[in-house]
């Protein structure tokens, strides 16, 4: 028994816990006990550099609550965006990509599309202080020219405001579709060949990657999809070639820090081989 009345085993346990907590963000002091328990399971050296999220289930969330407008689900999902972004930044992740509006979403009823664009514009303005406070840089992938003037203006202003931030990058996929992205990249490569800047035999996977919207970002290590759907929905088809996929039945407006931490714990439990085989002689 030690002088303070603690057994050697308890001292060792307390020391181990203190060492494990040494990397925790200061914000974790305010997290719930269950969130801190999940945080304690994480190895900070094995966190994903880039997490991508398909935010699904907003309309279903509204319908389950008897709400007439699907927009109420999207509005509720804003808090999930805020908490996921803040948590990823606090954990020191490099990139968080959110599938905010797809190319296919333009086919939705015009009233819903208009409401979504208004919601996007308000979000981009309202979150500026939060982005600056957390040293987050905002950028986008997708067809920027498709956005209405108000949304495009709010996006450009917020990206310019946060351009000097060197913490996490929040990457919004807006009017985005992976097939459209690959088509645009292919056109740019074809134009380079036509100008004599590139020969066909020089077109490698690296060259293609350099012409994608994500050319300056690492590929996602982890893809999270909410609402339990088992599909990737034309999202980052090239970039997620070796991403680990985590599907949760939780609808996006109910997705919070605990679900994000659970996804990270699941990610760290995977063995990533990138197409190779494990050495059978390993113990």
CA torsion, points 151, 156, 157, 163, in degrees to nearest 10? 140
**Residue 15: band (very low, low, confident or very high) from pLDDT cuts 50, 70, 90:** very low
Model confidence over 247-282: pLDDT tens digits?
Answer: 999 999 999 999 999 999 999 999 988 877 665 565
| pLDDT value for 13 | 44
234 noted as active-site residue: no
Given the residues 56, 213, 219, 221, the one annotated as active site: 56
| pLDDT value for 6 | 60
118 noted as active-site residue: no
Model confidence over 64-100: pLDDT tens digits?
Answer: 999 999 999 999 999 999 999 999 999 999 999 999 9
> What Rg, from alpha-carbon coordinates, does the chain have?
22
Model confidence over 216-252: pLDDT tens digits?
Answer: 999 999 999 999 999 999 999 999 999 999 999 999 9
Model confidence over 186-212: pLDDT tens digits?
Answer: 999 999 999 999 999 999 999 999 999
| pLDDT value for 2 | 52
| pLDDT value for 4 | 56
| pLDDT value for 171 | 98
Sequence-distant contacts of 205-208: CB under 8 A, at least 24 apart: 208/238
Domains defined for the chain, CATH in brackets: 45-177+218-266 (3.40.1180.10)
| Cα gap 176→196, rounded to integer Å | 30
Model confidence over 130-189: pLDDT tens digits?
Answer: 999 999 999 999 999 999 999 999 999 999 999 999 999 999 999 999 999 999 999 999
Question: Which residues lie below 8 Å from residue 187, measured CB to CB, with a gap of 6+?
Answer: none
| pLDDT value for 12 | 40
| pLDDT value for 5 | 59
Given the residues 105, 118, 165, 234, the one annotated as active site: 105
């Amino acid at each position: 028994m030690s002088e303070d009345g603690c057994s050697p085993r308890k001292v060792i346990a307390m020391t181990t816990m203190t060492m494990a907590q040494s990397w925790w963000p200061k914000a974790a002091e305010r997290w719930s006990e269950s969130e801190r328990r999940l945080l304690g399971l994480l190895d900070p050296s094995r966190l994903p550099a880039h997490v991508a999220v398909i935010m699904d289930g907003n309309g279903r969330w509204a319908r389950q609550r008897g709400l007439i407008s699907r927009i109420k689900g999207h509005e509720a999902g804003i808090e999930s965006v805020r908490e996921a972004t803040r948590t990823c930044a606090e954990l020191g992740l490099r990139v968080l990509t959110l599938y905010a509006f797809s190319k296919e979403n333009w086919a939705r009823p015009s009233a819903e599309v208009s409401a979504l664009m208004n919601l996007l514009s308000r979000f981009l303005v309202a979150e500026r202080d939060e982005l600056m406070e957390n040293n987050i840089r905002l950028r986008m992938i997708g067809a920027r020219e498709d956005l209405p003037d108000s949304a495009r203006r709010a996006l450009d202003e917020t990206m310019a405001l946060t351009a000097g931030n060197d913490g996490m990058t929040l990457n919004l996929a807006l009017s985005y579709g992976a097939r459209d992205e690959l088509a645009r990249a292919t056109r740019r490569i074809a134009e380079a060949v036509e100008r004599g800047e590139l020969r066909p035999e020089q077109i490698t996977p690296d060259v293609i990657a350099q012409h994608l919207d994500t050319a300056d970002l690492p590929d996602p290590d982890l893809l999270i999809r909410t609402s339990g759907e088992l599909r990737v929905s034309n999202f980052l088809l090239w970039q997620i070639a070796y991403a680990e996929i985590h599907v949760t039945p939780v609808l996006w407006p109910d997705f919070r820090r605990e679900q994000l931490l659970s996804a990270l714990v699941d990610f760290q439990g995977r063995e990533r081989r990138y197409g190779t085989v494990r050495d059978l002689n390993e113990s």
